[in-house]
Amino acid sequence: MNLPKVVTDLIEAQNKFDSVAYANCFAETGVMFDEGKTHTGRIGIEQMISESNKKYRSVMKPLNYTENGTSGILSAECSGTFPGSPIVLQFHFDIVDGLIRYLKVTD
């Protein structure tokens, strides 16, 4: 599977529970929408991922990736300490200049 470098970096950061590296995959003003909440900027995203890592210990296994221009959708199996684990989630990316500008996570 051919993934953009920033998506590979994001998966690696998540699987190492490295919230700083995860947030650094985003543009300074990047936006992430997950679990019904919007998180803005690297600091907000880092805080959310840090809390999520402590709570869920989630790891990602990429299954499929499609892209169209700056937009891409990653299907990934996510497993951790949450009810229903593992589940397949869709990660909807907008990537500009090698950084994630927007990410929405859906099931």
Q: What is the pLDDT of residues 53-81, one digit of tens each?
A: 999 999 999 999 999 999 999 999 999 99
Task: For residue 7, give the H/E element and its range.
Answer: helix 5-15
Spell out, as residue ranges, where the chain has pLDDT lower than 50. none
Q: Which of 60, 59, 55, 25 lies closest to 42 in space, CA to CA?
A: 25
Fold of 5-106: Nuclear Transport Factor 2; Chain: A, (3.10.450)
Instruction: Say what the pLDDT of residue 6 is.
Output: 98
Encode burial over 60-97: b for 16+ CB neighbours within 10 A, e otherwise.
beeeebeeeeeebebebebeeeeeeeeeebebebbbee
Contact at 8 Å (CB) between 17 and 51? no
Instruction: Say what the pLDDT of residue 29 is.
Output: 96
Residue ranges per structural domain of the chain: 5-106
Q: Which amino acid is at 48?
A: M
Instruction: Say what the pLDDT of residue 50 is.
Output: 97
Distance CA 40, CA 82 (A): 24
Q: Which amino acid is at 83?
A: P
Beta bridge partners of 104: 33, 92
